[in-house]
Structure 1
């Protein structure tokens, strides 16, 4: 990976999973071009759509582990791709974190194996 390439990370600075992912990337010598705090700098709808496309779809980006998922009764509903995108735009906790973007591909959630494949491939 060239210096100019690097990765962009969408995260929450106090999230231990996000911190582990950033440490993993830095340990591999990966340049982190930007760190975007999803709570402090919420994503626009178009940005959520773009991230969903890069990770392989809204289902992959959407976190069913968010506390609000059950509270809002979403587990009892059939949600369309547009519903998922809208929910992630309205509420950052529905976005699986961290999201690491390299070029036109991305991975959501921390998996050393997936991160390595993203930056090496």
Structure 2
């Protein structure tokens, strides 16, 4: 899989997308208009080892639905990510078995370094 999962209304995602200079071979996936599929999510989980690593605890729905007060399981994380695009931590860059999740400086720098080698 070669994809960049992002939200076009997210200024952080747009800023990161602008700085990465992605090759044309990487599919840009706007997750609101084309949500992640179960198969794609399972592929991402196989790279990270957990659905929780792909789950955004900053999502407004996380707090408004009271999920922060529950002990969520891996099955719960998967369910919520598939239920609503906002639960996918973003952006997610996946390329040939390498995955970069989120917007931390360390993650973005690692993604830039990786992209410079492909």
TM range (shorter): 0.7 to 0.9
Check if 1:66 corresponds to 2:62: no
Matching of residues 55-94 of structure 1 within 5 Å:
55-94=48-87
Q: What is the TM-score with the length of structure 1 in the denominator?
A: 0.82
Matching of residues 38-117 of structure 1 within 5 Å:
38-110=31-103, 111-117=107-113
Which residue number corresponds to residue 31 of structure 1?
23
Confirm or deny: 8 A CA contact 1:102 1:118 kept in the other structure: no
Check if 1:9 corresponds to 2:1: no
- TM-superposed deviation, 1:52: 2.5
Q: What RMSD in Å do the two structures reach over aligned CA positions?
A: 2.0
Which residue number corresponds to residue 20 of structure 1?
15
SS of the residue 1:107 aligns to: strand
CA distance in 1, matches of 2:71, 2:113: 32
Which residue number corresponds to residue 4 of structure 1?
none
- TM-superposed deviation, 1:56: 4.2
SS of the residue 2:46 aligns to: helix
- TM-superposed deviation, 1:10: 0.6
Gaps of 5+ in 2: none
